[in-house]
Structure 1
């Protein structure tokens, strides 16, 4: 599958603000500094589609991007940033949870973790949330260019054990810098859910 077109459609906090055209949605979620905006920009080949913030924890809204005029890539607020207040953390958590609760258009959630570190308690909780709401989940470990092949193997073991992934559960490594395996990742994330596969 090729991503030929990508455009920002809307930002939302509450359900009434979500798109209502019933297109399939694939959501990306991860810690504030995991490189979520960078991977969205890398996959869509757009440098500034998702805003890359210098301040982690800046995205508080749910952003909807229309891909190939076919389905939505949904950018959820980053979580786990220490320098925000408890009230702010709770409001972001509620924003994410409200979206995950019974969103029929949502068919898959891509959970981003940092390949250089063991998944955090927040990552584990997010993974459990996604499974609790019954969505298909794919884990993508970002910043993989920073690791050697040996370190990548160790990282895979740690991520699988920490998140209690089964053998058949999908885990991919990706670097937004070198974009190695980009086409394969796009196919694995989107192809079976997209209707326009050209």
Structure 2
């Protein structure tokens, strides 16, 4: 997909702030430092529309990015980061749950996991949660460039087995550094953007 226009529309904390135009939405979920912002920036070919941070846990709102005036990427707060209070984590959890469970414009969720490691307990919980609510899941395994080519098949097998991926779910190894996996990611997303 050629992206001609991308912009952040709103950072929302409740339904009242969500865009009302009913364009298709793709949610992006993952651990705090898994590379969601880098994924967005690489997919839209912009250096830093989505702000990357060396401090995990920076995204504390639902960030709606309009792409080509046709659909939204919705970056949800990362999970599994310990340096925020329990109360803050619970508030984020409620905000994310409300969005994922009630948003009619939501077409699919991209679950980002780190290709270098087996999925975390939080990754497994998020995958099961999305499946429980019948939300289509596209798994993007980030940081592909950090894994030796000889190890990639083994890592992919570990991720598929540990997540217990259902047959209809796609897993795509991805590198925000090299762009590897970008075309496959757009291909997987495009079927949800009609």
**Secondary structure of the corresponding residue to residue 102 of structure 2:** coil
Could you tell me how far 1:187 is from its partner in structure 2? 2.0
Q: Deviations along 1:54-91, whole A, 9 cap, x unmatched?
A: 21001100000111110111111111012222112111
Q: Counterpart of 2:172?
A: 172
Q: Distance in 2 between matches of 1:93 and 1:194?
A: 26
Could you tell me how far 1:153 is from its partner in structure 2? 1.0
- Unaligned runs of 5+ residues in structure 2 are none
**Secondary structure of the corresponding residue to residue 91 of structure 1:** helix
Could you tell me how far 1:102 is from its partner in structure 2? 2.1
Could you tell me how far 1:169 is from its partner in structure 2? 2.2
**Secondary structure of the corresponding residue to residue 140 of structure 2:** strand
**Secondary structure of the corresponding residue to residue 134 of structure 2:** coil
Could you tell me how far 1:12 is from its partner in structure 2? 0.4
- Normalised by the length of structure 2, the TM-score is 0.96
Q: Counterpart of 1:36?
A: 36
- 1:28–1:112 Cα contact (<8 Å) kept: yes
Q: 1:168 to 1:131 in 2, by over 3 A?
A: closer
Runs of 4+ that moved beyond 2 A: 166-169
Note if 1:193 corresponds to 2:192.
Answer: yes
Q: Distance in 2 between matches of 1:58 and 1:100?
A: 20
Q: Deviations along 1:103-149, whole A, 9 cap, x unmatched?
A: 11000000000001111111111111111221110100000001122
Could you tell me how far 1:97 is from its partner in structure 2? 0.6
Could you tell me how far 1:168 is from its partner in structure 2? 4.1
Q: Distance in 2 between matches of 1:158 and 1:132?
A: 22
- 1:22–1:105 Cα contact (<8 Å) kept: yes
**Secondary structure of the corresponding residue to residue 101 of structure 1:** helix
Q: Deviations along 1:33-70, whole A, 9 cap, x unmatched?
A: 00110010000011111010121001100000111110
Q: Counterpart of 1:109?
A: 109
Q: Distance in 2 between matches of 1:162 and 1:145?
A: 21
- 1:8–1:64 Cα contact (<8 Å) kept: yes
State the number of aligned residues.
194
Give the aligned CA root-mean-square deviation in angstroms: 1.2
- Unaligned runs of 5+ residues in structure 1 are none
- 2:136–2:169 Cα contact (<8 Å) kept: no
Q: Distance in 2 between matches of 1:26 and 1:168?
A: 17
Q: Distance in 2 between matches of 1:184 and 1:124?
A: 23
